Amino acid sequence: MIVELGHFALALALAVAVFQGVVPLWGAVKGDALLARLAPRAALAQFVLLSLAFAALANAYLSSDFSVANVFENSHSLKPFVYKWSGIWSNHEGSMLLWVLILALFGAALALFARRLPADMLAATLGVQALVASAFIGFVLFTSNPFTRLMNAPLEGRGMNPVLQDPGLAIHPPLLYLGYVGFSIVFSFAAAALILGRIDAAFARMVRPWTLAAWVALTLGIAMGSYWAYYELGWGGYWFWDPVENASLMPWLTGTALLHSAIVMEKREALKTWTILLAVLTFSLSLLGTFLVRSGVLTSVHAFAVDPERGLFILGILIAFIGGSFALFAARARLMEGGGLFAPVSREGALVFNNLFLSVASLAVFVGTLYPLLLEALTGAKISVGAPFFNLTAVPLMLPIFLLIPIGQKLAWKRGNLLGAVQRLFVALLAGVAAAAVLAFVYHGAPVLALAAFALGAWLIIGSFDEMVDRATRGGKGMVLARLRAIPASVYAMVLAHVGVGIMVLGIAATALETEKVVAMKPGETLSLGRFTVQLRGFANENGPNYTSAVARFTLSDSTGVLAELSPGKRVFVGRQMPTSEVGRYRYGLSEVYLAIGESSDDGRVDLRAYDKPLVLLIWLGPLLMSIGGMISLLDRRMRVGAPVRAKAKMPTEGATA
């Protein structure tokens, strides 16, 4: 009965979303305050109904109700509780229900917390958001229903994909969806601004906190996915340029550009066209990512759907919203003329430079990801575009951005002094040279690119801190603490985010220094791995709650003695009978020794891949600091100041009360 109630709530949510997407939006356009005031109430009702639907599916998973086809296909009674819970979104139907729930969550959050928005802008934004929700709720109901019952309920389920039975899955997809779907609110704001003709600094102020929140979630989601792949798949890498990885990277790049563009639009009334375009592009790329994963055009651990009907449905949504938004953009182009003037060498100019390179990098990833699919669709020919293409196109486009970040912070608004900004960064430049020299000394020489990247990372870190030091010591050193307290939270956030970029660059540079050994070993044999010694002691079998595991036991030692015992292994899960790799890791500082086993041979040998990875954890520490910087920025008082109500608004401001 609970399952049927969830199904009914989902259907009712579709009706509410359609109402919200038509009636309040019409009221906003026509100046009808009564109709416009219905939008926040409808948004809250939609969220409540979708929460009930999600709760019904969650109850089916947690109670192991195998009469529900979705639960039977993706769960097992022996699964630990956390994996029963994360199993809800480990499949196509459940993940799409989570998708629309988060879509409704952002609409409800806007309805509750955007009280100072003009009522017509709030109604138009929530109306556009509801149109997006209507399309995807319809997709779930008509092609991806998670509540379908089985005629004869089996006694046991098949279990989830074993690769996905990991704590990372409980975190990674929800964070990605918060990022993907969070940009829907930014898109809705942009569409509403175009519809109502309100493209000004107030629009930039409205979208910045929502853009920032979505960007933080997407940054954490991508980093968590990278870390999960690193330790779960047993391949020792952090980024594979998989098409679905690229699908998350593209909106992150344009979303980063949007963040910076909105700053210029708010402060200088400039880059209106660019900001609106980036808002549309970022959510369009999020929709493209949804299409790639759900359409069946890709074969990946991320790709759930293989039904052409679903692919065509999502393609229709993609065409409707992307095509419609660009048509609206073209129709309203004249409203985006004008804006503050600035010299090419200025803080605005640096941000434009940043945006251009981020956008072109996103385009390079777009071409490399979609070209093989398009070529196969048109000619039937199959080609593979892998890491070499992206490393030679997208990566070099990021280097000028990294070089310019500290310089851009030193430039004045409207007109800056490039030579003066570079001169004030002498300490950062010296730090970069020193970092490369230390690296070369410690490792008795290193690849040239690694040295250059290390210097770049140090330049970013010290150069980013230089902005805060300059503000604190401006006007003398006697009031440093008072000046530090007076610095706005947004400045601390900017510094921390840029430092995070530098730390990530250091971690990526350090991958050129890792030691890798691939050998076949018997019990008692040893392997030299840099300054470490790895010895295979033997084999053992272990049983988990819903799996059996064959592990190889290693001891790791150095000149001081035994450091750790590591037990990489292979797990076979009950239900699907699929093997997965479990790695053994020893962490020392920000570095790791990483062991992964392969196949065993009849003579008692096992294949081993062993890595010594110096500073590898910096790769994920950097994005974590970037995200913390974004969170701090959200705490800035200026982020909580609503858009001012226009004196000549067509209707009174009602806020977002419901």
Per-residue model confidence as pLDDT tens digits over 76-122: 898 888 889 999 998 889 999 999 999 999 999 999 988 788 999 99
pLDDT tens digits for range 194-211: 999 888 878 888 899 999
Phi-psi region of 102 (alpha: psi -120 to 50; beta: other; left: phi over 0): alpha
pLDDT of residue 499: 96
pLDDT tens digits for range 459-490: 999 999 987 888 787 766 667 888 888 888 88
Q: Picking from 152-166, 236-250, 504-518, which range would have the lowest pLDDT averaged per residue?
A: 152-166
* Statement: residue 609 has pLDDT above 70: yes
Q: Using an 8 Å Cβ cutoff, are 649 and 120 in contact? A: yes
- DSSP 8-class letter at 228: H
Q: Per the structure block, which two tokens stand in for 605?
A: 């040998």
Coil, strand or helix at 356: helix
pLDDT of residue 160: 81
% of the chain at pLDDT higher than 70: 93
Q: Which value, in Å, is the radius of gyration of the alpha carbons in the chain?
A: 27
pLDDT of residue 652: 43
Residue-by-residue DSSP string for 565-612: EE--EEEEETTT--EEEE-EEEEETTEEEEEEEEEE-TTS-EEEEEEE
Whole-model pTM: value is 0.92
Tell me the C-alpha distance between 110 and 209, whole Å: 11
β-strand 515-521 against 561-566: which pairing, if any?
unpaired
pLDDT tier, 657 (very low <50, low <70, confident <90, very high otherwise): very low
pLDDT of residue 475: 63
pLDDT of residue 306: 53
Within 31-74, where are the H helices?
33-36, 38-62, 69-74
Q: Using an 8 Å Cβ cutoff, are 548 and 131 in contact? A: no
pLDDT tens digits for range 535-577: 999 999 988 887 889 999 999 999 999 999 999 999 888 767 7
Q: How crowded is residue 231: how many other Cβ atoms within 10 Å of its Cβ?
A: 18
Q: Using an 8 Å Cβ cutoff, are 28 and 14 in contact? A: no
The residues near 230 (Cβ < 8 Å, ≥ 6 apart) are: 236, 237, 238
Tell me the C-alpha distance between 11 and 624, whole Å: 39
CA distances from 308 to 95, 291, 296, 297 (A): 18, 11, 7, 9
Residue-by-residue DSSP string for 193-225: HHHHT--SHHHHHHHHHHHHHHHHHHHHHHHHH
pLDDT tens digits for range 23-78: 999 999 999 999 999 999 999 999 999 999 999 999 999 999 999 999 999 998 98
pLDDT of residue 647: 44
Mean pLDDT of the chain: 89
- Main-chain phi, psi angles of 611, to 5 degrees: -130, 140
